[in-house]
Each structure stands twice: as C-alpha cells, then as structure tokens.
Amino acid sequence: MDIKEEFGKRLAQMRKERKISQEQLAELSGLNRPYISGIEQGKRNVSLEVIVSLAKALGIKTKELFEE
Amino acid sequence: MDIKEEFGKRLAQMRKERKISQEQLAELSGLNRPYISGIEQGKRNVSLEVIVSLAKALGIKTKELFEE
DNA sequence: TTGTAGACTGCCGTCGACA
DNA sequence: ATGTCGACGGCAGTCTACA
C-alpha cells in the first residue's frame, strides 16, 4: 500500500478515536477542511509542517502517526 | 527549535552514524545532493514521500526519524 | 458531515555550476 | 565532501461552492 494511503488511514483512525469531525480537526490544525479530506483519502503528499500540525491537533507525538 | 531544523539535525546524525556522505545518501534515496544539504540545514519543508525515501535509504523505520 | 471540483499562489524538488 | 546559487516545472495548500 502506498505511503500516502497509509498515512491517510492512520490519520482518519486517530481522528475517529477522538470522535471529532474533519471540520474540527481542520480548525485545530489550522488547515482547511477539504484538504483534510484529501489527506485521509490518500491523495495528498503532505509536508513535514503539516504532519506536525496534525499530530499536535490530535494531541499525539509525531512518531505515533507512523506506527503500524 | 523549528521542526525543520530538528528533522535536519536528526537526519544528519543518522547519516553520520552510518558513515556515508550526502552524495551517497542522495543516490540511495533517489534525491539530489544539494537538496539533501538544504534539508540537513533545516531549510526545507520535506514531503511525506521524501521522508520515507530517506528512512529507507538509511535502513530505518520512518518513525525513527521522529524520535527524540 | 464528507467528497469533490476549479482556480490560485507559493514553494518543493531538480539540475548545473562554482566555491 | 559540503554549501549555495538561479532557473524551472509541478504540486502543496487555500478558498468557494455544490452534491
């Protein structure tokens, strides 16, 4: 499986565990909602800064987004 | 410290531990050498795919590039 | 609530060259 | 062996809008 897909699935999983919407995650991370959607679909090659923003918004460490 | 700097220092550290040059890391990762230099200087906001390429080139897991 | 589309700006990543 | 520059194409990330 493609790394973008893996990352997207992992992100969606962590978001749902916290029971927040894409809209809320967008606000917390400072990103826009359609972009979050694209990331979760595995369509986006996100940058280091975005990865860190998402981890912070989820209240986890960056490395946790890369655990299997 | 900025996340780009942190990542760059971590990358340089892992590369030196393996005693390979930026030139060799560039070849192994499929990236170009001046770009590797910029990353290690903390000047570049690298993408997910580049992060994974670098980890593979170093023979480590992606998450290891985010451990403190 | 989520997926998708289009238009836009800025920067990622490439490459050749020089210190 | 490494840092830096300049030029370039392509895509990251934004925003509005509609299903």
Residue A68: pLDDT band (50, 70, 90) is confident
Q: Please tell me the distance in Å from B27's CA to the nearest CA on chain A.
A: 21
Would you call A3 and B46 a contact, using CB atoms and an 8 Å cutoff? no
Span A36-62, pLDDT tens digits:
999 999 999 999 999 999 999 999 999
- Tell me if the pTM is above 0.75: yes
**In whole angstroms, what separates CA B25 from the centre of its chain?**
8
**Looking at the domain that runs over B3-65, which CATH code has it been given?**
1.10.260.40
* Interacting residues of A22 by C-beta distance below 8 A, sequence separation 6+: A15, A33, A36, A37, A40
The nearest alpha carbon in chain A to B61 belongs to A66
Residue A6: pLDDT band (50, 70, 90) is very high
Would you call B66 and A67 a contact, using CB atoms and an 8 Å cutoff? no
Mean pLDDT of B1-21: 97
Sorted by where each begins, the domain ranges of chain A are 3-65
* Interacting residues of B68 by C-beta distance below 8 A, sequence separation 6+: none
CA atoms in the 13 A half-sphere facing the CB of A63: 10
Q: Taking all atoms of strand C, which protein residues have CB closer than 7 Å?
A: A 21-23, 33-34, 37-38, 40-41, 43, 45, 47; B 30-32, 34-35, 44-47, 49-50
Span A13-27, pLDDT tens digits:
999 999 999 999 999
- What's residue B26's pLDDT? 98
Q: B52 is written with which tokens?
A: 């994974």
- What's residue A24's pLDDT? 98
Measure the CA–CA gap between B30 and B42, rounded to whole angstroms: 19
